[in-house]
Amino acid sequence: MTGPQRIAILGTPSAPEAEWTSAALLGLVDRGFTGIQLNIAWSYRPADEVLNLEDLVPVPGAPPSRAAEGGAGNDRRAELIATRARLAHAAGLRTLLHIGLPYQGRAGFDGDPLPQCISDPATLHRYQRAFEELSARIPDLDDLLIYTYDQDAWLCSEFDGCDACRGVPLHERLAPFLRALADTWQRRRPGARLWWEPWELSAGQALATIQRLAGAPLGLMLHSNIGEVISVDAADTFLRNAARTAQAAGLPVIAEVFLSSSNEEVEPWRHLPVPLVTVAQLRAVEAVPGVAGVKEYFGLRPDPLDVNALAADAYFADPAITDEHVLQQLAQIFDRPWLADVWRAASDAYTVYPWDASWFTRQLGRSQPVHALTAATIRGAQTAASAWDTPAWRSTRHSVFMRVDNTEPHPWLLEDVQLRCQLAADSMASAVRLLEDRLLDEADAPSAHLRSQAAEMRGFITRARAHALHIRITVLAALARQSGAGRVRHRILAEIRELLDADATNQSEELAQGPLPEDEARGSALQRAERWVVDRRTDVGLIQQAIATLDRDPTAFLEQYFTAASGVAEAGQFSLTSR
Ligand SMILES: [Zn+2]
């Protein structure tokens, strides 16, 4: 392998249907991609995309596949992956299959006893046999990427797992398991590699495991930050430590990043133009010694005017390119030099947004500006399961996200998020004004694309403003309750009244945008069950009632509204401030 590796994914979890054609694959090669992941591999299995080995070949002794038709669909799915791999090789792309193992069904997420354990030699043997069958079924498959947590995989805890694992640190169990799998794969595919993603391990566990893998035919696939793929905080301390440890162990590292406007941070949006964020992220991870390239983490859609994807292309063509040249090149494609200022301001807005407040700042397009009317919080954990019980969530992730549980936040923490949301909204508002002032009602493709960009920029503003207003009203309502009947309370109530008006206006502006296309808004059964996707909240009458109550009887308002309540994800998991 010479030159940096750049690995693509066709289709995304929220728009999984993709054209696996020679033309599409050759287009990726033209853009600088060197490899492709053959499946989308996303937890909720969009479009029955493969998630586990059990979805392709029999793994006797493992739980049954949760894919459509279970194991009965294996031949169909294996044929599909084999066809994709053949087409990818014909286009000159290296191929990678992404799977989670040991596969546990949903037992790990649900806190149930795990059906498979890597301390049991039978677990290793069944996956070694399955690797051999996989290699026979998909002759054009080069590399494997395995997750050992998440993606329906899970590992025994040293503290409450099975008897064999009790008291045995995870890295001592995991390193020999991974090494044996990597050896098996390399015997079947000389020159190929097993890539391991240490997702959900603590930094300490991951580093200790990497050290024990020295010399194995293995590589590391790492999120750009130990908390997640985080575009504005790529190449964190963990990534740098892991890459250095891997380099000493002779293992290559690939960093996972977002290369387009369709990504998990803004899902299910597809047009938010923040090209300087895309380029900064690429520069950050590729500057880390030991990083051999990048892999798209979410997916790519065929969109010749996706500004973030075009920025990635410009970087791939010239990694030394400056921000100003990126913006000039993109603006030239749209034949409107003034767009450089729009996209610079939009990138600034995105960068100042408080992505570090909580994991639930993500999936911004799913946040509901018609927020709950109980007290604002910053949601730190999923309410149904209260928390994901993995090493990373109990340790290192606390250094990435300010909130990892749903305890009552301090008002200064609330204010921090409020102020950064407000700054982000103001910066995006300046960007969208620049755009709308000059955007004519033309029918050409760039104009249509720019209108889509403007719509998502306005969506960014209404969401950020909803968070800021919800928080400020909550903090003031608490202060009003503590104040006597005098001037201070009067002043605070007057500010609350103004903010409620602004909040109602913001909600109306959001609703004036119209809903997402139905296929993007629907979500999967699992997404709906876990309230990752909820129906669009459209009742602006609720906040009007709150205003009427305040006008009629302030004491009743303070008793009824913006009070603490138990968390039910009323407005969905990604409505950050709603309980
Ligand atoms: Zn065990």
Give the pLDDT confidence score for residue 7 in this predicted structure. Answer: 98
CA 200 to ligand 1 center in whole angstroms: 17
Q: What gap in Å lies between CA 368 and CA 202, rounded to an integer?
A: 32
Residue 119 Cα to ligand 1 midpoint, Å, equals: 5
How many Cα atoms are found within 13 Å in the side-chain-facing hemisphere of 383?
Answer: 21
CA 107 / ligand 1 centre spacing (Å): 13
Q: Which residues of the chain have pLDDT under 70?
A: 1, 384-387, 519
Measured in Å, residue 177 CA sits from the centre of ligand 1 at 12
Calculate how far, in angstroms, residue 196's C-alpha sits from the geometric centre of ligand 1: 20
Report CA torsion sign: 238, 239, 240, 242.
positive
Find, among 220, 54, 73, 57, the residue nearest to 135 by Cα: 57
Q: What is the distance in A from the centroid of ligand 1 to the CA of 102?
A: 11
Residue with tokens 């090209």: 275
Burial class (CB in 10 A: 0-12, 13-18, 19+), 16: middle
Ligand 1 mean position to 381 CA, how many Å? Answer: 26
| Ligand 1 centroid distance, CA of 405 (Å) | 27
pLDDT of residue 384: 59
Report CA(162)–ligand 1 centroid distance (Å).
4
**Residue 272 to residue 226: CA distance in whole angstroms:** 25
Q: Which residue has 């596949």 as its token pair?
A: 65
Q: How many residues does the chain have?
A: 579
Ligand 1: distance of its center to the CA of 155 in Å?
7
Structural contact between residues 357 and 378, judged by C-beta atoms closer than 8 angstroms = yes
474: which residues sit within 8 A by CB, 6+ positions away? 375, 376, 414, 562
Report the pLDDT value the prediction gives residue 442, as an integer from 0 to 100: 84
Quote the pLDDT of residue 385.
Answer: 53
Instruction: Find tokens 């992505």 and name the residue.
Output: 355
User: What's the pLDDT at 386?
Assistant: 57
Is the distance from CB of 156 to CB of 114 less than 8 angstroms? yes
First vs last C-alpha separation in the chain = 49
Question: Ligand 1 centroid to 42 CA: how many Å?
Answer: 25
Q: What global pTM score does this model have?
A: 0.96
Question: 161 CA to middle of ligand 1, Å?
Answer: 6
What is the 164 CA–ligand 1 centroid distance (Å)?
Answer: 5
